[in-house]
Chains A and B, each alone.
Chain A
Amino acid sequence: MDKKVKVYSTPTCPFCIRTKQFLKDNNIFFEDVDVAADQEAAKEMMQRSGQMGVPVIDIEGRLIVGFDKEEIKKALGM
């Protein structure tokens, strides 16, 4: 079963790029939310995660702040 994955990111943040690359390498589909372009999404990310750092990864509603490979793997059941 594919899990629903969403990545809140900015185009310039290196660990956002690496997070997305990691997901792609593992054939995980995700919705890419550019919080630099979308102010509403930025607000949503800040409200949901209670902080302002990117990336924030939403895996089935579970939020992971930062490119934490181990946590991402765990949440995805990899």
Chain B
Amino acid sequence: MKFPAGAGHFPPRPGNGGNMYDLIIIGAGPAGITAAVYAARKKMDFIVITGDIGGQAAWSGDIENYTGYQFVTGPELVSKFEEHMRKYAIETKEGEEAVEIKKGPAGVAVRTTKGAYEAKTVIIASGKKSRELGVPGEKEFKNHGLTYCATCDGPLFAGKDVAVIGGGNSALDAALQLMRIARRVYLITNAPAFTGDPVMLEKVRASAAVTSMVNTEIKEIIGGKMVTGIRIKKDGTEPTLSVGGVFVEIGLIPNAAFAPEVDKNGAGEIKVNCRNETSVPGIFAAGDVTDVPEKQIIIAAGEGAKAALTAFRYLSRMR
């Protein structure tokens, strides 16, 4: 997609003398929120554009590895993060998503679902989202029996037969939760074996309510108003399995499609160096959207802090 002609010459912003921002932070998960706190303390002129507050941290159930909290739930930690951010008068555009960012001669143009902005620097902290199956019926039946959050929607499937798709820890975790609620759980992976934690796998295997299926592909989600079944492919045949719920747990993909100019690795993660610089000067990235080795809240937060300080240095050099 191209920016409209004249992009980069957006109308002057009221209250800002027509200048562009110092910084735009994309995303308000642990990385983006921490970057915002650091940017505020450096008195940078910036905004935060984000789909939601908290990102994946809001989805995390019990967190036991964020220093200072021996135990905290995701929503609680996110409330704390948000409270910290709100202490500074940070202009936050919630419910708005970056659609394309483009480096120009003066700064970086950011086009969103609601408008267009420009800044001298950008920090991409857009994290990750659930990977989709990419099969017919998936979009139509989302929230109509198909879900990406077993923790949230699981209880609505009490007494039903359900399918959990995936072979890793998140799939095993979903199966563990659902085997207590649902009547029967089909745990289905296209791989030859499940790869998750052996302890979890043992528990799942021990349950009479779970039927595990390996080397099994999902071809289609079927139903009327709600899901009634899935068409699977196994050993050359394509039978239909009747289920009232489908839980998709096949991993996460980085939210980086809106930044086509920056270099990415094979997994689509934005490549950064230890200063959070991307391949494009003035564009920085932090947290789960990057190729940083571990994906954890405390790491994303630390990366966000680093990115804001690097952006601050970059701006000092520009002046």
Interface residues of A (CB under 8 A from B): 10, 12-18, 21, 35-36, 39, 42, 46, 50-54, 65, 67-70
Contact B58 A18 (CB under 8 A): yes
Interface residues of B (CB under 8 A from A): 52, 54, 58-61, 73-75, 78-79, 94-95, 143-145, 147, 149, 151-156, 158, 225-226, 245
Q: How far is the CA of A52 from the CA of B147 in the complex (A)?
A: 9
CB distance from A47 to the nearest CB of B (A): 10
CB distance from A35 to the nearest CB of B (A): 6
| CB nearest to A49 among chain B residues | B143
| CB nearest to A36 among chain B residues | B155
CB distance from A56 to the nearest CB of B (A): 10
Contact A10 B152 (CB under 8 A): yes
List of B residues within 8 angstroms of A18 by Cβ: 54, 58, 75, 78-79
List of B residues within 8 angstroms of A42 by Cβ: 155-156, 158
A-B residue pairs, 9 tightest by C-beta: A36-B155, A13-B152, A53-B143, A17-B75, A51-B143, A14-B58, A10-B155, A14-B75, A12-B151
Partner of B153, one of A10, A67, A69: A10
CB distance from B175 to the nearest CB of A (A): 16
Given that A17-B75, A18-B75, A70-B95 are contacting pairs, would A10 and B58 also be in contact in the complex, using a CB cutoff of 8 Å?
A: no
List of B residues within 8 angstroms of A69 by Cβ: 94-95
List of B residues within 8 angstroms of A52 by Cβ: 143-145, 147, 153, 156, 226, 245
Q: How far is the CA of A19 from the CA of B1 in the complex (A)?
A: 35
Q: How far is the CA of A13 from the CA of B95 in the complex (A)?
A: 19
List of B residues within 8 angstroms of A46 by Cβ: 156, 226
Q: How far is the CA of A22 from the CA of B58 in the complex (A)?
A: 14
List of B residues within 8 angstroms of A67 by Cβ: 52
Q: How far is the CA of A18 from the CA of B58 in the complex (A)?
A: 9
CB distance from B297 to the nearest CB of A (A): 14
Q: How far is the CA of A43 from the CA of B226 in the complex (A)?
A: 13
A-B contact pairs, 14 of them (CB 8 A): A13-B152, A14-B58, A14-B73, A14-B78, A14-B151, A15-B152, A16-B152, A36-B158, A50-B144, A50-B225, A52-B226, A52-B245, A54-B156, A65-B143
Q: How far is the CA of A53 from the CA of B75 in the complex (A)?
A: 18
Q: Chain A CB within 10 Å — which of B58, B59, B145, B156 has the most? A: B156
List of A residues within 8 angstroms of B58 by Cβ: 14-15, 18
Contact A14 B74 (CB under 8 A): yes
List of B residues within 8 angstroms of A68 by Cβ: 95
